[in-house]
Structures are given as structure tokens and as C-alpha cells.
Structure 1
Amino acid sequence: MKIVVIGGTGLIGSKLVAKLGEHGYEAVAAAPNTGVNALTGEGLAEALAGASVVVDVSNAPSFEAAAVLEFFETSTRNLLAAEAAAGVGHHVVLSVVGAERLPGSGYLRAKMAQEKMIESSAIPYSIVHATQFFEFARRIADEATDAGTVRMPPVGFQPIAADEVVRAVGRIAVGSPVNGTVEVAGPERFRMDEFFRDVLAAWNDPREVVTDPHARYFGTELGERSLVPDDGATLGEVKYADWPGRTATGG
């Protein structure tokens, strides 16, 4: 089975290509640096020839609202057209738990626009909603920093190791399309402000974490359950305290 991974050289994509290859699948890493650009359409027809599945784990280079919307709408439109021409039977996309609950975020509005395009196409699909990756904890803290202070809301937070997202996406990719959404999340639920207070202390980071109910997460305020999965989500097994990268990468 040939599986084309759009964004196949990034954090999730590179791990997914390797994992699928280990299990005997023909996994193709498709990205601008391999000559495949979903945004322009360059190389798509050639990469998708003979493919059974396309997995889109690509991400926008800019999170500015207009730019990210343009990225996801254009790249998804090009992908779906190329898949239809190639006879691809399963489109898998990685998205975000809670995206539908946070219209105040330009990035998450763009992800929802992407999902709607996929749901409206004739190609069978699976949408995987994941919570925040352990690997992105540093970026989240930096984004929340104001004048040396990290402002975090006291809301639910259930991050997951990227390797476990890869396993979940891989299982979906080699299975039958669900024509719906599945959720994956970490095994532990924290309070967001307390989580970041602990991890910054573990990094020996001098920034103070201040609890602020109105603190914005990539442009939007959060409710208690904005970022946590519903019942029935697939939960990972790796706890943050046991994750090897927690100190080596600064979160």
C-alpha cells in the first residue's frame, strides 16, 4: 500500500514515514524540500500516482489569520483535486482537539475551514484531533510571555507525546476511513497554569507563571474544556514526567 504523507519531513510527518516504513508500507515523504508543494500544486500528481492513502500533517509557515486560512484552504483544495484524479481512497488529516470550540483563534478557524472542505469532498476521510504536543510546550510558554511573565489560564490541559500522535495517525491511515473525527490525548489532565509553573521550574526558567483567567492562547480566551477531549478519546500512555524530552529540549 502506498501512503503519501504531506508534510512528511516535519516533526510528525518524518516520524510517521519511518513508522509506516517499518511496518512494510510504501511511505512517501511529500514536502517542498522533496519537490512536492501542496500550496502551489508542484509535484502533487507525480507523488500521488498509485497512492491508496494521503495523510496531511502539513502546517502553515505563518499563524497570521489571513495567511493561515489561505494556506489551509489552498493546499487542501489542491490536495483533494489531485487525490480525485489519482483515485486515492482515503484522506487523513491531523487537526486539533477543541478547534470547533475556539472560533476566536485565526489558526483554529483555518483548521475548521480545512475540515469542512474535507467533509464536503467525495473522498472518504478520517480527521484526527490531537491535543497539544509535549514538544510544543516551550512555544506555548513563549507565546504566552508578556514582559517576562508567562500568563496562563486555570483551565484543563491534556498534552500528548508526538510519538503517540504518530502511532494514532498511523493506525487510522492503514485502516478503513471513519468519515468522521477521532480524538487522541495524553493520559493525564493538568490545570494549564500549574503545568507550566512546574515545567518552567524544571527547565530552571526564571519566568514567573501568573494565573490569568483571561490569558489568551494563540489569540483566544479558553474555557475549562476548550483544549481537552470528550469521553471516548484514545489516550496515550506516556506521562510528561516520564517523557525523555522534557528537559533535553526544554519541554
Structure 2
Amino acid sequence: MKILVIGGTGLIGSKVVARLREHGHDAVAAAPSTGVNTLTGEGLDAAMAGVHTVVDVANSPSFAADDVMHFFTTAGHNIAAAERKAGVAHHVALSIVGTDRKPGNAYFAAKDAQEGIIRDAGVPYSIVRATQFLEFTGGIANEAGQGPAISVSTGGIQPIAAEEVAAAVADAAMAPPINGFTEIAGPEALPMDELVRRYLRAKGDARQVKGDPGAPYFGGVISWGSLLPGPGAHLGKVGLDAWLAAQSAGAHGAA
């Protein structure tokens, strides 16, 4: 089966391409660097020739409110139009747990808009909603600040390893469309401030973390359940401690 992976050169996309190829599929990575630009439409029609399934894991290069909304809506419409023209049988997209709850930030609103375009496009689809990646924990810490003490939300988070996200997306691409969404998450739910505190401690970062229910998470204040999956979510096996241990082992091995 020929599968086009939009964003196929990134963190998740490259892993999705590799997994699909391991299962014998003709997986093709599409990105501006390969001549496919979803914002301008350049290369989209040619890339979709003979494609059965399109996987979209592309991300906006800017998280500014107007930029991220423009990226996901413009790309969403361009991809949908190209899929209809090519007769694509299945569209798979990576989204976020809690997108439909939109906890006060522009990125979630843009992903919600993207999901609406997918639902209305007329192409059979599957949406995989994932919790935040363990790999982005450092970004959460840095967003909170670089001073000796940082305030981090006490809202719940259930982070998942990127490898397990990629596996779930690839599995969705190899299965029939569900015309709905599934949720995936890591095995451990914990307060966000605890996640950041444990991460910084493992990295030898001296910043002190203060839990603050009012601290924003990328622009929005979240409650305990804002970012947590619902009943029936598929849970990964890689928890925070195991992931941190693997990161440490990898760093030592590269030294």
C-alpha cells in the first residue's frame, strides 16, 4: 500500500515512515524539503498520485495565534482538496487529547479547526489524539521561565513517548478508517509541576519548581482533567522514570 506521510521528516513522521516500511508498505515522506508544501499546495497533487492513505503529522513552524491557525486551516483545506482529486481512501491525522475542550490556547483552537476540516472533507478518516510527548517536557519547563524558581501548573498531564505515538499513528494508517478519533496516552497521570520537577532533577537543572494552579500552560490555565484522556484510551508502556533512564543511558553512550 502506498502511504504518503506529510511531515514525514520530523520527530514523529520519520518514525511513522520507518514503521510503515518495516511492515512492507511504500511509505513516502512529504515535507517542504522533499518538494511538498501544504501551505502553497506546491507538489501536493504529484505526491498523491497512486496514494491509498495520507498521514498528516506536520506541525506549524510558529505557535503564534494567527500563524498556527493559518497553518492548520490552510494546509487542511489544501490536503483535503488534493485527496479528493486523487481519490485517496483514508486520511490519518495526529491531534491532541483535549483539543475539543480547548483549554485557552491558540494551538488547541487551531487543531480543533483542523479536525473540523477533516470531518467535513468527504474522505474517510481516522484521528489519533495524543497527550503531550515526554520529549517536550523540557519545552514546558522553558516556557515557565529560566530563573532560579519557576511556576508550573498543577493541572494533570499523562505524557507519552514519541516512539509510542508514532506506532499508534502507523497502526491507524494500516487499519481501516474509523471516521472518528482514538486517544493515546502514557501510563502515568501526574501533576504537571511534578513532571517538570522530576525532569529537571534528572537533568541536573537547578531550577526550583513551584506548583501554581493559575500558572498558564502555553497561554491557557488548565484544570486537572483538561489534558487527560477519557475512558477507553490506549495507554503506552513507557513511563517517565523509564524514559528518563533511557535518555540518561543514551547521553552516556554518546559521550
Q: TM-score, normalised by structure 2?
A: 0.95
Q: Which aligned segments of 4 or more residues in structure 1 are displaced greater than 2 angstroms?
A: 146-150, 245-249
Residue 82 (1) aligns with residue 82 (2): yes
RMSD between superposed Cα atoms in Å: 1.2
Amino acid at match of 2:205: D
Matches within 5 A, 1:177-196: 177-196=177-196
CA distance in 2, matches of 1:248, 1:188: 22
Structure 1 residue runs of 5 or longer lacking an equivalent are none
Residue 90 of structure 2 is aligned to residue 93 of structure 1 = no
Distance 1:211 1:146 in 2: 16
Asked if 1:139 corresponds to 2:139, the answer is yes
The reply on whether 1:41 has 2:41 as its aligned counterpart is: yes
Identity of matched residues, % = 54
1:51: which partner in 2? 51
1:6-49 Cα shifts (integer Å, max 9, x gaps): 00000000011011001100000000001111111111111100
Compare 5-14 and 235-244 and name the one that shifted more.
235-244
Query: Structure 1 residues 87-96 or 192-201, which shifts more?
Result: 192-201
Preserved contact between residue 20 and residue 170 of structure 1 (Cα < 8 Å) = yes
Question: How many correspondences in the alignment?
Answer: 249
**Local SS of the residue matching 1:54:** strand
In structure 2, the gaps of 5 or more residues are none
The whole-number CA distance in structure 2 between the counterparts of 1:69 and 1:236 is 30
What is the TM-score when the length of structure 1 is the normalising length? Answer: 0.96
Structure-2 residue corresponding to 1:215: 215
Q: C-alpha distance in 2, partners of 1:221/1:191?
A: 13
Deviations 1:213-236 (A, max 9, x none): 111011000011011100100000
1:16 matched residue in structure 2: 16
Deviations 1:163-197 (A, max 9, x none): 00011111111111110010000011112111211
Name the counterpart of 2:200: 200
Cα deviation for residue 157 of structure 1 reads 1.1
Quick check: 1:36–1:43 contact (8 Å CA) kept in 2?
yes
**Paired residue for 2:229?**
229
